[in-house]
Each structure stands twice: as C-alpha cells, then as structure tokens.
C-alpha cells in the first residue's frame, strides 16, 4: 500500500491518492481517492485506512486486500486530523488504534476491534506447508539479478 500518483513526477502529498499492489509493487490499483493513512492487520487479512486531512469523520476497512472498502463512521459528529493509525508491530492483530486531533482542540483515541467480524482469522502455518498464505519469492531477471 502507498500514497502517490501516476505520471512522471510525484505530486504534492495532498494531491496524491491511496494505492495498493497485489504483486509486490509491479502494478498498482487505486484503493481510495486522496491521501490516506493506512495499516494492515491479521497478516494482511484486514486493511484499515483513514483520509489524511483535517476533517476525517470515518475510517474504511477491507477484507479482500483493498478491492472493496466498507465505511465506518467515527460517530457523534466527530471530526479529526489523524495523527497515526497503528496495530501490533507484527501486524497479526485484529485491533487498531487511531489517534487524532479534534478540530476544536484536544485529542481523541479511537479503538477499532475487528475480532469476530469474519468467519475465522487467517491461518499462518508455522511449518510453511499450508495455511492461508502464499509463498512469495523475489524475482530475478535474465542475468540473474534480483529485480
């Protein structure tokens, strides 16, 4: 996932959009319009994003790697400037924390818990011979150079 644009030059951040890639950056698809802060949990099984502006009033989440997004209101007319969106360092958690600055002053912490929202959690087979994850290998070009 990343924030950027198409074209020969990188535009200013506030003119960029939020993209995702399913092939380690070889190709990119637009996930959401405008710049977003983003995080993934459950080893990529949950993607969460919040528009990175002064009046964010909702978060978006995806259970299918960014192809479809569901809106989740922050509630009660709350508008924030997101400061950070995070989860556990190993990205295995289904819980996220969003810290934002309220437009009228002060800060708010929003806890997002996606536990139990799907039929099951992704299965990471420690032996590497099954589970929900595909092995991914870096590509080498015709000369044997890593690309």
Q: Percentage of the chain with pLDDT > 70?
A: 82
The mean pLDDT value for 46-56 works out to 95
What pLDDT, on the 0 to 100 scale, is given for residue 43? 80
What pLDDT, on the 0 to 100 scale, is given for residue 124? 62
Q: How confident is the model at residue 97 (pLDDT cuts 50, 70, 90)?
A: very high
pLDDT at 125 over 80: no
Closest CA to 28 of 66, 62, 58, 83: 66
Q: How confident is the model at residue 126 (pLDDT cuts 50, 70, 90)?
A: low
Closest CA to 67 of 96, 121, 30: 30
Residues in contact with 40: Cβ distance below 8 Å, sequence separation at least 6, in sequence order: 1, 46, 47, 48, 87, 91
pLDDT single digits (tens) 3-50: 999 989 999 999 999 999 888 788 899 999 999 999 999 888 899 999
Q: How confident is the model at residue 118 (pLDDT cuts 50, 70, 90)?
A: confident
pTM of the model: 0.81
The mean pLDDT value for 70-88 works out to 93
């Amino acid at each position: 996932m990343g924030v950027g644009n198409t074209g020969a030059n990188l535009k200013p951040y506030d003119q960029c959009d939020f993209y995702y890639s399913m092939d380690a950056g070889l190709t990119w698809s637009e996930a959401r319009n405008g710049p977003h802060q983003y995080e993934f949990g459950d080893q990529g099984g949950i993607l969460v994003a919040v528009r990175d502006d002064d009046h964010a009033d909702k978060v978006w989440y995806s259970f299918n790697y960014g192809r479809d997004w569901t809106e989740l209101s922050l509630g009660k007319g709350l508008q924030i400037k997101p400061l950070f969106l995070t989860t556990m360092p190993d990205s295995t958690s289904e819980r996220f924390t969003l810290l934002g600055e309220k437009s009228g002053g002060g800060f708010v912490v929003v806890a997002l818990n996606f536990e139990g929202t799907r039929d099951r959690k992704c299965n990471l087979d420690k032996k590497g011979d099954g589970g929900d994850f595909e092995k991914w290998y870096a590509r080498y070009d015709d000369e044997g150079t890593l690309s």
